[in-house]
């Protein structure tokens, strides 16, 4: 049936045409190098919610105590101490751990410095010249607070004025904290690898 | 199934059989088109280079894709102009039905080839077994769920879109795997993290063809579902003349879409492969415009509650993602986005997860994220400096990104090669002094400072004299990062000689796309 | 099968096809012209103008001594013109205390709750429509609100109370050299008048925290970054949020360990409350209580340079005696 065959040729042509055009366009475009990418920027601006730097979360540094309620690495110290953070960082503080104790009712902060001199400097800034007998290498004790330092670890204990636990019980707590501190290493040159506790 | 010849057909020399000489059959054209577009797909993969993108419109794959267009529109409420091309595909479907699936789709072609190859593995007589099954409705539910989650702002359809799946699987899964297996030199040997998973997913889908032919296309493909829904209005349809049909069911044996041409033909499932026409011994089937009520139903019945269930499931996913500490609410340090990326929430609403950027990146810095960006960011691109650094004058990723999730920058806008200037920052390098050789090991090394590309360098050196354990004194130069200048390119981390965990590492803090997230303050007064 | 298709079928099919194609085109063009989902989010709010033009006849700042905190606050405000000078009938007044720290009132880290309550009462007496007490604490917001005593005092005096768990933040344009656009606590943007209620304390970085530094509490986001350039950012804050009135709690002053504090021994009982429209003069006065020369504090000098006030002359003193 010649009519059928003609029809089939026509259909075949129709089918092949788009493909042929496509091939031709691609070849011509490829040779000419004329497909420039569409560089018009798509609409869309750039602001969104601020990402937060992650908190370090290794296990509790203080033995004999539950995990701290707050653990602030160097980049988030300000969340605990606001403006004082920069002075702490300049003195080498890399981390603050924070506990809220119930018995006695007190707050305890452990500030970890990378050198003992930094810790000593901040303690001196906090309490001034006088020292009292107490835990650690140096301490300042009042009826409502015990601040002490052992090596590069600086502990601040503040009794809750409403509950008023008293000097004696705060000193007990300080003693327990002192015993729970990591064994202090002897400081040598700064060429030692940084301690694991302080990771940026 | 389609092969060069169909052995099931009895070779009896009759008038009807003589007329079905393959050279005139429309199947030949279909196969030519299929082969051509498959080649085009491969070209697209290969040509995502600086030169290639000028010679070839590499983003055609997605700009033609109506599912990509609809998803981007739903999740970000804008449609980049180039996506208007997808209307052409919609028009094609409205006229010819799901011809895309049968003639153009490279994924369909690959599945077709595998289905043909696994013919012997499928059990049962094809004309009995190759029927439409109830679970083929899943693809509609998948489509609805994905569009629901996209409407809430997360471009998850990008994960399931077949073109995106294919590009991603080949570019960051199968091709690197083959290249490494064949030890091909100079063919951009690449390592992509999680390549095994990316490739395995695709291979698993291919393996399903051993059970049911073209199973992905029939049961899961959301683009197929979308086109299927559109093709319910198709003008050209398969039509069976009931007077001529002798109910031999041979049309079912070769049918690619399992659309039951002989019975209640489902237009939305038909891939327009036209095998049924070629195979019918009575010439009872034709592909005609305005085929009358012989094919009334057109589509697939979905009970309303299933549709609602799918939509609700989709909508529930986004809050779950966002609550799981993903890259929008609490990004990990490793979630470094390519330069030019939009701010995170908008990025996740625009990124098709296609892997084009990772494919184009000349250094292999852009990797699929499986974990750094949470579950919502699965397979979105992140820069992993240990794998490759971000080349300072390169802006390829933005140029190949089909949806504008990564804005196309000019090298000047990126600004890393400009003296005293940088426009875009993707992160900041942080020194790990414990691992750094001059800081922690008394050993000289200044590689990071040497490779730092910014002008002036973002790493400066500080001299120190240390006494070694044997008493010798040595002068060391110790690198210090200047966060005001560091752009986060990762050259330092990539080249740091401490091989496993580099002593200087880039994290996303300080990226410029989210001004509120910078950790430094820059004063306009220059103080 | 050569019959012609039914006309109605043809029309119906064409119609359906046209509908689908037309519909897609419409949706696509909507997308072309849309500005996107995040379009509105990038516009920054504007800070209201709280500061009233100066009136002659009243001192710019006074110090009251010799009474209970509440009595001192009332007396000082009366002397600078009475609350009626600052608050019109029906206005919304934001009272912004220093409520940043999880401390009790006697630890002297936050503004005394009695002063907060008295200022709230003064505002209500002057006819304010709404009095709002709000702050963005550094420590846990709920505990801070409770332990500082300020939440209870504010509510008892008839004010509304907001902390970040009960209100949100909005991007605002501050126009400073460092603080250009920043997230600001919503109650701040909805107020007509701002009454700043700082307490005088030592501060590790800026050496003094008083009125201008207290304005930090309206900011959200990662405030800690501002410490990198603290004096300029404080001056920016002072320019952007120039309060209507400042009332300084100097009943007890923290000499050491600020701003967090905690030790009762670090407090000096000064027993004064100062008030006025000139926050530079008030901050300078606070510096002298800590034994610091105001000229040494950069943000005070910067603020004076920007025309926000002056210092150098001693403040008028009044004695209350209750």
Tens-digit pLDDT profile for residues B479-524: 999 888 899 999 999 999 998 899 999 998 888 887 655 666 654 3
pLDDT less than 70: residues of chain A: 1-7, 33-60, 183-200
Where residue C127 falls (left for φ over 0; alpha for ψ -120 to 50; beta otherwise) is: left
pLDDT at A82: 83
Q: Do B519 and A75 touch (CB under 8 A)?
A: yes
Chain B nearest C-alpha distance from C73 (Å): 37
CATH number at B344-414: 3.30.70
Give partners of B (≥3 CB pairs < 8 A).
Answer: A, C
pLDDT class for B188, splitting at 50, 70, 90? low
pLDDT at B524: 39
pLDDT at C41: 65
> What residues 37-66 of chain B have any CB closer than 8 A to a CB of chain C?
66
CA geometry: angle A70, A76, A77, nearest 5 deg: 75
Tens-digit pLDDT profile for residues B311-369: 888 888 888 887 777 777 777 888 899 999 998 888 999 999 999 999 899 888 999 99
Contact B415, B454 (CB under 8 A): no
Tens-digit pLDDT profile for residues B431-460: 999 999 999 988 889 899 999 988 888 999
What average pLDDT does the segment B179-200 reach? Answer: 74
Instruction: Give me the residue label for tokens 């409420």.
Output: B77
Contacts of B433 in chain A (CB under 8 A): 193-194
Pairing of strands B428-431, B504-507: antiparallel
What whole-number distance in Å separates Cα of residue B218 and Cα of residue B138? 9
| pLDDT higher than 50, residue B37 | yes
pLDDT at B424: 87
Contacts of B81 in chain C (CB under 8 A): 32
Chain A nearest C-alpha distance from B341 (Å): 8
Confirm or reject contact between B118 and chain C (CB < 8 A): no
Q: Do A54 and B330 touch (CB under 8 A)?
A: yes
Chain A nearest C-alpha distance from C309 (Å): 24
Contact C154, C133 (CB under 8 A): yes
List, in order, residues 6 or more apart from B156 with CB less than 8 Å away: B146, B149, B150, B317, B376
Say which residue, B150 or B191, is predicted with more confidence: B150
What average pLDDT does the segment B197-214 reach? Answer: 90
User: What is the Cα gyration radius of chain B?
Assistant: 28
Q: Using omega within 30 degrees of 0 as the cis cutoff, is the peptide bond preceding C55 cis?
A: no
Tokens standing for residue B39 = 């080649």
Domain extent listing, chain B: 17-289, 344-414, 428-517
Contacts of A57 in chain B (CB under 8 A): none
| Structural domain includes residue A50 | no
Average pLDDT of every residue of chain B: 83
Nearest CA in chain C to A145: C263
Contacts of C234 in chain B (CB under 8 A): none
Tens-digit pLDDT profile for residues B220-278: 999 999 999 988 888 888 888 888 888 888 888 888 888 777 767 788 888 988 888 88
Residue B400 to residues A37, B361, B413, Cα–Cα distance (Å): 8, 10, 17
Residue B164 to residues B63, B201, B388, Cα–Cα distance (Å): 11, 13, 23
| Structural domain includes residue A12 | no
Closest among B423, B487, B427 to A53, alpha carbons compared: B427
Contacts of B70 in chain C (CB under 8 A): 27
pTM of the model: 0.68
pLDDT at B526: 29
Average pLDDT of every residue of chain A: 74
Q: Do B344 and A15 touch (CB under 8 A)?
A: no
What whole-number distance in Å separates Cα of residue B40 and Cα of residue B46? 10
Q: Do B289 and C5 touch (CB under 8 A)?
A: yes
Closest among C268, C294, C269 to C282, alpha carbons compared: C294
List, in order, residues 6 or more apart from C31 with CB less than 8 Å away: B73, B77, B78, B79, B83
Which residue in B79, B233, B523 is closest to C229 by CB distance? B523
pLDDT at C26: 92
| Structural domain includes residue A176 | yes
pLDDT at B298: 58
Q: Do B523 and C38 touch (CB under 8 A)?
A: no
What whole-number distance in Å separates Cα of residue B344 and Cα of residue C116? 41
| pLDDT higher than 50, residue B299 | yes
| Structural domain includes residue A131 | yes
Q: Do A156 and C205 touch (CB under 8 A)?
A: no
Instruction: Give me the residue label for tokens 């970085």.
Output: C205
What average pLDDT does the segment B43-57 reach? Answer: 78
Q: Mean pLDDT for each 10-residue chunk of chain C (322 residues)?
A: 70 88 90 79 80 84 94 94 92 95 93 96 95 94 94 96 86 83 90 95 84 92 76 91 95 90 91 94 95 92 93 92 64
How many percent of chain B have pLDDT more than 90?
A: 33
| Structural domain includes residue A77 | yes
pLDDT at C165: 80
Partners of residue B287 on adjacent β-strands: B238
* Domains identified in chain A, total number: 1
CA geometry: angle B233, B235, B236, nearest 5 deg: 125
| Structural domain includes residue A185 | no
| Structural domain includes residue A123 | yes
B&C contacts, CB < 8 Å:
109
User: What is the Cα gyration radius of chain C?
Assistant: 26
pLDDT at B515: 63
Contacts of A39 in chain B (CB under 8 A): 399, 408, 410
Say which residue, B84 or B130, is predicted with more confidence: B84
Tens-digit pLDDT profile for residues A34-85: 554 443 333 333 333 333 333 333 445 788 888 888 888 887 888 888 878 8
Tens-digit pLDDT profile for residues B21-36: 444 567 888 889 999 9
Using DSSP's 3-state secondary structure scheme, residue B476 falls into strand
Nearest CA in chain A to C137: A79
The CATH homologous superfamily for domain C40-319 is LarA, N-terminal domain (3.40.50.11440)
């Amino acid at each position: 049936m010649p009519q059928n065959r003609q029809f089939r040729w026509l259909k075949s042509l129709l089918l092949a045409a788009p493909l042929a055009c496509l091939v031709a366009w691609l070849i011509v475009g490829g040779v000419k190098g004329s497909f420039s990418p569409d560089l018009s920027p798509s609409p869309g601006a750039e602001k969104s919610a601020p990402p937060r730097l992650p908190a370090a979360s290794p296990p509790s540094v203080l033995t004999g105590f539950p995990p701290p309620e707050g653990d602030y690495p160097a980049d988030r110290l300000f969340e605990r101490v606001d403006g004082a953070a920069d002075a702490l960082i300049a003195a080498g503080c890399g981390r603050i751990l924070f506990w809220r104790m119930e018995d006695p009712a007190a707050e305890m902060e452990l500030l970890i410095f990378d050198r003992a001199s930094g810790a000593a400097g901040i303690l001196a800034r906090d309490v001034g010249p006088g020292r009292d007998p107490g835990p650690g290498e140096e301490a300042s004790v009042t009826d409502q607070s015990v601040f002490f330092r052992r090596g590069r670890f600086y502990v601040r204990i503040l009794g809750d004025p409403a509950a008023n636990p008293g000097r004696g019980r705060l000193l007990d707590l300080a003693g327990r904290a002192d015993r729970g501190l990591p064994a202090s290493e002897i400081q040598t040159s700064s060429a030692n690898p940084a301690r694991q506790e302080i990771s940026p | 199934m389609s092969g060069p010849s169909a052995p099931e057909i009895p070779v009896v020399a009759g008038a009807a059989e003589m007329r079905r000489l393959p050279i005139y059959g429309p199947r030949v054209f279909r196969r030519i088109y299929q082969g051509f577009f498959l080649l085009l797909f491969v070209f697209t993969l290969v040509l995502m280079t600086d030169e290639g993108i000028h010679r070839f419109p590499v983003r055609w794959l997605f700009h033609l894709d109506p599912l990509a267009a609809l998803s981007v529109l739903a999740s970000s409420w804008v449609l980049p102009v180039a996506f208007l091309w997808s209307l052409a595909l919609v028009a094609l479907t409205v006229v010819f039905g799901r011809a895309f699936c049968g003639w153009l789709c490279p994924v369909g072609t690959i599945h077709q080839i595998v289905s043909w190859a696994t013919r012997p593995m499928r059990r049962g007589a094809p004309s009995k077994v190759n029927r439409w099954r109830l679970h083929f409705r899943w693809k509609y539910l998948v489509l609805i769920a994905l569009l629901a989650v996209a409407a809430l702002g997360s471009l998850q359809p990008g994960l399931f879109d077949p073109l995106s799946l294919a590009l991603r699987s080949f570019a960051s899964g199968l091709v690197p795997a083959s290249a490494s297996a064949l030890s091909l030199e100079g063919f951009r040997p690449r390592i992509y993290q999680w390549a095994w998973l990316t490739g395995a997913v695709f291979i698993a889908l291919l393996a399903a063809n051993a059970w049911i032919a073209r199973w992905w296309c029939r049961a899961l493909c959301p683009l197929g579902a979308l086109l299927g829904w559109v093709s319910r209005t198709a003008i050209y349809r398969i039509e069976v003349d009931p007077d001529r049909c002798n109910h031999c069911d041979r049309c079912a044996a070769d049918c690619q879409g399992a659309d039951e041409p002989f019975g209640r033909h489902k237009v939305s499932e038909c891939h327009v492969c036209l095998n049924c026409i070629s195979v019918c011994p009575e010439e009872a089937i034709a592909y005609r415009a305005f085929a009358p009520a012989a094919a009334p139903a057109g589509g697939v019945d979905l009970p309303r509650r299933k549709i609602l269930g799918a939509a609700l499931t989709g909508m529930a996913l986004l809050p779950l993602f966002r609550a799981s500490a993903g890259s929008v609410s609490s990004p990990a340090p490793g979630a470094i986005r390519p330069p030019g990326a939009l701010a995170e929430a908008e990025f996740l609403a625009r990124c098709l997860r296609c892997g084009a950027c990772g494919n184009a990146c000349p250094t292999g810095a852009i990797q699929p994220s499986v974990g750094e960006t949470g579950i919502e960011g699965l397979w979105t691109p992140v820069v992993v400096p240990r794998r490759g650094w971000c080349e300072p004058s390169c802006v390829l990723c933005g140029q190949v990104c089909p949806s504008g999730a990564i804005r196309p920058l000019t090298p000047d806008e990126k600004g890393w090669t400009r003296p005293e200037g940088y426009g875009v920052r993707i992160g900041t390098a942080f020194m790990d002094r414990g691992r750094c050789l001059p800081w922690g090991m008394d050993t000289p090394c200044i590689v990071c400072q040497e490779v730092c590309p910014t002008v002036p360098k973002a790493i400066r050196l500080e001299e120190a004299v240390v006494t070694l354990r044997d008493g010798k004194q040595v002068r060391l130069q110790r690198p210090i990062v200047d966060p005001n200048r560091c752009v986060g390119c990762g050259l330092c981390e990539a080249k740091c000689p401490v091989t496993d965990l580099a002593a200087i590492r880039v994290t996303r803090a300080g990226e410029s796309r989210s001004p509120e997230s910078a950790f430094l303050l820059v004063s306009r007064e220059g103080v | 099968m050569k019959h012609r298709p039914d006309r109605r079928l043809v029309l119906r099919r064409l119609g359906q096809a046209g509908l689908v194609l037309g519909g897609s085109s419409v949706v696509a063009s909507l997308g072309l012209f849309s500005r996107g989902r995040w379009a509105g989010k990038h516009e920054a709010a504007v800070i209201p103008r709280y500061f009233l033009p100066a009136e002659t006849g009243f001192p710019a700042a006074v110090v009251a001594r010799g009474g209970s905190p509440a009595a001192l606050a009332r007396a000082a405000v009366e002397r600078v013109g009475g609350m009626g000078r600052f608050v019109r009938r029906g206005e919304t007044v934001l009272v912004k205390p220093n409520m940043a720290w999880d401390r009790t009132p006697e630890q002297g880290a936050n503004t005394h709750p009695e002063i907060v309550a008295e200022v709230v009462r003064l505002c209500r007496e002057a006819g304010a429509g709404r009095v709002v007490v709000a702050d963005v604490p550094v420590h846990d917001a709920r505990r801070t609100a409770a332990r500082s005593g300020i939440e209870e005092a504010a509510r008892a005096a008839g004010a509304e109370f907001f902390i970040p768990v009960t209100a949100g933040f909005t991007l605002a344009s501050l126009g400073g050299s460092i603080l250009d656009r920043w997230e600001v606590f919503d109650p701040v943007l909805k107020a007509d008048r701002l009454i700043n209620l700082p307490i005088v304390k030592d501060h590790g970085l800026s050496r003094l925290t008083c009125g201008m530094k207290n304005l930090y509490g309206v900011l959200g986001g990662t405030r800690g970054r501002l410490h990198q350039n603290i004096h300029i950012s404080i001056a920016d804050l002072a320019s952007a949020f120039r309060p209507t009135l400042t009332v300084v709690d100097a009943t007890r002053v923290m000499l050491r360990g600020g701003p967090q504090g905690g030790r009762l021994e670090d407090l000096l009982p000064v027993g004064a409350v100062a008030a006025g429209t000139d926050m530079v003069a008030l901050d300078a006065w606070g510096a002298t209580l800590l034994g610091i020369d105001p000229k040494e504090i950069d943000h005070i000098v910067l603020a004076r340079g920007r025309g926000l006030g002056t210092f150098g002359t001693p403040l008028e003193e009044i004695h209350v005696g209750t």
